Amino acid sequence: MKTIGLIGGMSWESTITYYQLLNEMAKNRLGGLHSAKLILYSVEFAEMEALQASGHWQEAGEVLAQAARSLERAGAECIVLCTNTMHKVAPQITAATHLPFLHIAEALAEELNRFSVKKVGLLGTRYTMGERFYTDILNTAGIEVLVPDEEDMQVVNNIIFNELCCGQVREESRKAYQAIIEKLVAQGAEGIVLGCTEIGLLISQRDVPALPVFDTTQLHAKKAFDFALEN
């Protein structure tokens, strides 16, 4: 089994999910006392969020590039960035080491194409929904991306940063997300992408019975564990 290098802490609430999923996959696939071989570099999220908010993406990218270099020195055999938003600086991270970088949007695109889903509604931070670094990868894979309008986008973003990243899961926020999802369905979405690693704490398939939900945290973890088992 290869050793997976995780860059986490953005937020630590969702990094826990990665750790749990990867170890559950090891148990379920390999049985017995097996667990995943992991090395975690957890950053200080308040510092990263301040760099995001001030537009200092180059500096944020260097923090994560340094984390990747540390993981490589520690013996990691791939890099998994445990956040959707910070894939905006994926090129900096990729250039920092000789290790494979397992991109979360590529894992998502592979799954959407596997199910022949060609139009999705995307929920995530305002950076992920409003910029091209993420949706371009899906578009290149032949997938059309719908995002909420500006007002709803702010609602989605506020719930992520003010609640989910702080470990708060509120029923009224679940209902707000469901209402936004209904609008995306009305626009022709064939699936809903949980494009922030924290959203899975609030929304699951049972909350969206009308169409499939694609949780990027789960898909990313699966891609990482599949890599770990490759010869």
Catalytic residue numbers, as ranges? 83, 196
What is the biggest distance separating any 2 CA atoms in the chain, rounded to whole angstroms? 49
> Tokens 């609030």 — which residue?
202
Residues of 63-94 as b/e, b for ≥16 C-beta within 10 angstroms? Answer: bbbbbbbbbbeeebbbbbbbbbbbbbbbebbb
- CA–CA separation, 181 vs 191, rounded Å? 10
| Cα angle: 205, vertex 106, 154; to 5 degrees | 60
- CA–CA separation, 22 vs 36, rounded Å? 6
* CA dihedral for 98, 225, 82, 147, sign (positive or negative): positive
Give which of 75, 53, 66 is closest to 7, Cα–Cα.
66
